[in-house]
Chain A
């Protein structure tokens, strides 16, 4: 019997690993699809059987309730759909404020950890250890019910020059109403911002070519404030002051920052700031000390070492951590409901859900919003991450 060399014949269709894996994946996909299909169709059938309305028609019905704070015009005659937008904008507002302020606090506290001054260093440690370890809800209550609620009543407001007022109802400061010629001022601001970008590129090119440095920061600041100021003077201040005044029970006019927003933004800032401080500390510590020594040996000043050597390398560690801190902050902002700040969760999952009873639709929409917002943050932070990533040449 002669051993025939095994000819590499193609295995049967089902034994082919490629086909097999495709079949298994198709089966899984089909199974998953059927699972979700049966959940959704069962839900709809059961809701119908129980006489519960479903669908998104309610978004076009009149809401009939008022909302404390809105960035767009809103009153009780608007629709439930608009309450969604109002809540969404309020969520975005408190998130943006929280992200900006907590980043500032976090970077300052993170860098302060390396200060040569013992007091500053201990202060930074105490800050992180205190606020990182206390539940956020408790901190929100602290700011709202202990700190802000202790402010004086409207009639005994604290005031700064009779134009800015602070009381238990909030912070009131003058607004500006644009008059004819205001557009020139806006144009000046835009021109200043564009000018700064141009200046920066020019200064970098000049430094690359000649090695000479240009004081970009000071000139930029000068442009940012100088140009609009010039426009203001030329146009004869085309704005009217809208100064808050006490009438009846409350202040009217001007711009009001409600205490709910202040308490929530403060709590989110202080809480998330502590985590960001730790991220910054970790990032700086990840840069080997040799880098600093090398920078010193070529004669860079301390400030330049931080800016040119340490921070760019630390950012590689910090940015991914920041990403998750920012996402947590957005999700944590739903705790607004505890103090009645009208964010998406309070307004839409709270009042709108209860007035309409459309629980599934509303919860689904809200989950989708937080998903999209956090994916956006993630996208932006990933862009930032790739720009600070180690460039290998």
Chain B
């Protein structure tokens, strides 16, 4: 129902707004909060605790933008969206940012009127199977029933992979990742496929996590990142550099604990990032201590990673590709200067 509402909203918004390209920044400042589209609940990326507080790696993108623009990371309104609803919600202006483990692909970037503002997690698609299936490789899955979430790149990769390897399968498509997990647990399917990070998150949600295992194959590249509407370059820049600032802060060794120190007595590069003697914020229409606010309130990328999906979380995902470029990963920020 929500999907229909948002589709209709798109129709109305597109039909009646007479082409005015509203400045998202002004809207956000006037409203006093950032409206951020997140998942309906995915451990480590965007999840709500019993007090109604959202947390996760994707949530931290929303929070860092709120910190940069409004100076307060808590001024975010979260809109939980399914995979199928997400782009319409952004196109219609219902949300300002979509930060919902969304893969950056050519089609999405070029034909939906959207822009990807960077990557906050490098992922890849994998398979989770029940241990008693006795399978050690995805190539043994001929004839298997595969549970999958509708409206994802995963659906396309899956078809490509099985066809390329000449093996057959049945795709059982559900709306939310919770439903795919329920399908997997009830035995409706042999295999659950999704981005690897999600597989670990879903595995924790199983009644008996040790009964399932993740297969070694990674069959696709899934760079996940925040998305904004096309045609508002100022807002696009703000979101892009909010993501970069967290990565850059980690690279420079600034974290939430030492941000004040870095601001007052750090080296020139650190001080510049923290907003000393620079007009980096003004160029984007926000205050110059934007990056300081991000690091102070949300933390750097490494802190966010460890807190949400790494060693400080039940997921215990290692940094891998998501380590800094000088530590064996591919996380690399363009310089803030």
Contact of B229 among A50, A64, A350 (CB under 8 A): A50
The answer to whether B155 and A65 touch across the interface, beta carbons within 8 angstroms, is: yes
The answer to whether B171 and A353 touch across the interface, beta carbons within 8 angstroms, is: no
Interface 1/0s, chain A 38-78, versus B by CB < 8 A?
Answer: 01101101110111110000000000111110000001110
List B contacts of A169 (CB < 8 A). Answer: 145, 187-188
Tell me, in angstroms, the Cα distance from A9 to B169 when the chains sit together. Answer: 84
- Most A Cβ at <10 Å: residue of B7, B170, B183: B170
The answer to whether B231 and A51 touch across the interface, beta carbons within 8 angstroms, is: yes
Contact of B91 among A50, A250, A252 (CB under 8 A): A50
The chain A residue with its CB closest to the CB of B86 is A354
The answer to whether A340 and B172 touch across the interface, beta carbons within 8 angstroms, is: yes
The answer to whether A66 and B186 touch across the interface, beta carbons within 8 angstroms, is: no
List A contacts of B172 (CB < 8 A). Answer: 68, 260, 340
A248-B143, A249-B143, A354-B87 known; A168 vs B187 contact (CB < 8 Å): yes
A382 CB within 8 Å of chain B: no
The answer to whether A248 and B142 touch across the interface, beta carbons within 8 angstroms, is: yes
B10 CB within 8 Å of chain A: yes
The answer to whether A64 and B187 touch across the interface, beta carbons within 8 angstroms, is: no
List B contacts of A337 (CB < 8 A). Answer: 175
Interface 1/0s, chain B 177-204, versus A by CB < 8 A?
Answer: 0010011001110100000000000000
List B contacts of A354 (CB < 8 A). Answer: 83-84, 87, 150-152
Other than the given A66-B158, A77-B163, A250-B144, 14 more pairs (CB < 8 A) read A42-B17, A52-B111, A65-B171, A149-B188, A169-B145, A250-B145, A260-B172, A338-B175, A340-B172, A340-B173, A350-B173, A354-B150, A357-B108, A359-B91
22 interchain pairs, CB-CB under 8 A: A42-B14, A42-B17, A46-B14, A46-B17, A46-B19, A50-B231, A51-B113, A51-B230, A66-B158, A66-B170, A66-B171, A68-B173, A168-B188, A169-B187, A250-B170, A260-B172, A337-B175, A340-B183, A350-B84, A351-B150, A354-B87, A355-B155
Tell me, in angstroms, the Cα distance from A359 to B110 when the chains sit together. Answer: 16
The chain A residue with its CB closest to the CB of B10 is A359
B332 CB within 8 Å of chain A: no
The answer to whether B151 and A351 touch across the interface, beta carbons within 8 angstroms, is: yes
List B contacts of A252 (CB < 8 A). Answer: 143
The answer to whether A346 and B150 touch across the interface, beta carbons within 8 angstroms, is: yes
List B contacts of A191 (CB < 8 A). Answer: none
A363 CB within 8 Å of chain B: yes
Tell me, in angstroms, the Cα distance from A349 to B173 when the chains sit together. Answer: 13
The answer to whether B156 and A355 touch across the interface, beta carbons within 8 angstroms, is: yes
Tell me, in angstroms, the Cα distance from A356 to B156 when the chains sit together. Answer: 12
B330 to chain A, nearest CB (A): 27
Contact of B156 among A64, A339, A349 (CB under 8 A): A64
Tell me, in angstroms, the Cα distance from A110 to B11 when the chains sit together. Answer: 44
Q: How many residues of A contact B (CB 8 A)?
A: 49
Tell me, in angstroms, the Cα distance from A136 to B131 when the chains sit together. Answer: 36
A65-B155, A360-B10 known; A42 vs B18 contact (CB < 8 Å): yes
**Residues in B80-129 with C-beta less than 8 Å from chain A:** 83-84, 87-88, 91, 107-108, 110-113
List A contacts of B186 (CB < 8 A). Answer: 145, 149, 168
List A contacts of B84 (CB < 8 A). Answer: 350-351, 353-354
Tell me, in angstroms, the Cα distance from A354 to B173 when the chains sit together. Answer: 13
B128 to chain A, nearest CB (A): 15
A116 CB within 8 Å of chain B: no
Interface 1/0s, chain B 223-260, versus A by CB < 8 A?
Answer: 00000011100000000000000000000000000000
A41 to chain B, nearest CB (A): 9
List A contacts of B141 (CB < 8 A). Answer: 249
Contact of A64 among B15, B143, B160 (CB under 8 A): B160
The answer to whether A153 and B187 touch across the interface, beta carbons within 8 angstroms, is: yes
The answer to whether A355 and B10 touch across the interface, beta carbons within 8 angstroms, is: no
The 3 A-B pairs of least Cβ separation, nearest first, read: A354-B151, A76-B159, A52-B113
List A contacts of B173 (CB < 8 A). Answer: 68, 340, 342, 346, 350-351
B267 CB within 8 Å of chain A: no
List A contacts of B190 (CB < 8 A). Answer: 249-250
A259 CB within 8 Å of chain B: yes
The answer to whether A49 and B231 touch across the interface, beta carbons within 8 angstroms, is: yes
List A contacts of B21 (CB < 8 A). Answer: 49-50
Interface 1/0s, chain A 240-276, versus B by CB < 8 A?
Answer: 0000000111101000000110000000000000000
Interface 1/0s, chain B 127-152, versus A by CB < 8 A?
Answer: 00000010000000111110000111
The chain B residue with its CB closest to the CB of A334 is B4
List B contacts of A338 (CB < 8 A). Answer: 175
Tell me, in angstroms, the Cα distance from A157 to B10 when the chains sit together. Answer: 47
List B contacts of A64 (CB < 8 A). Answer: 156, 159-160
Interface 1/0s, chain A 350-393, versus B by CB < 8 A?
Answer: 11011111011001000000000000000000000000000000
List A contacts of B175 (CB < 8 A). Answer: 337-338, 340, 350
Tell me, in angstroms, the Cα distance from A51 to B113 when the chains sit together. Answer: 4
The answer to whether B113 and A47 touch across the interface, beta carbons within 8 angstroms, is: yes
**Residues in A3-57 with C-beta less than 8 Å from chain B:** 39-40, 42-43, 45-47, 49-53
A66-B169, A169-B188, A249-B143 known; A47 vs B87 contact (CB < 8 Å): no
List B contacts of A249 (CB < 8 A). Answer: 133, 141, 143-145, 190
B306 to chain A, nearest CB (A): 32
The chain B residue with its CB closest to the CB of A69 is B170
A82 to chain B, nearest CB (A): 14
Tell me, in angstroms, the Cα distance from A42 to B158 when the chains sit together. Answer: 38
Tell me, in angstroms, the Cα distance from A340 to B149 when the chains sit together. Answer: 10
A379 to chain B, nearest CB (A): 27
List B contacts of A40 (CB < 8 A). Answer: 15
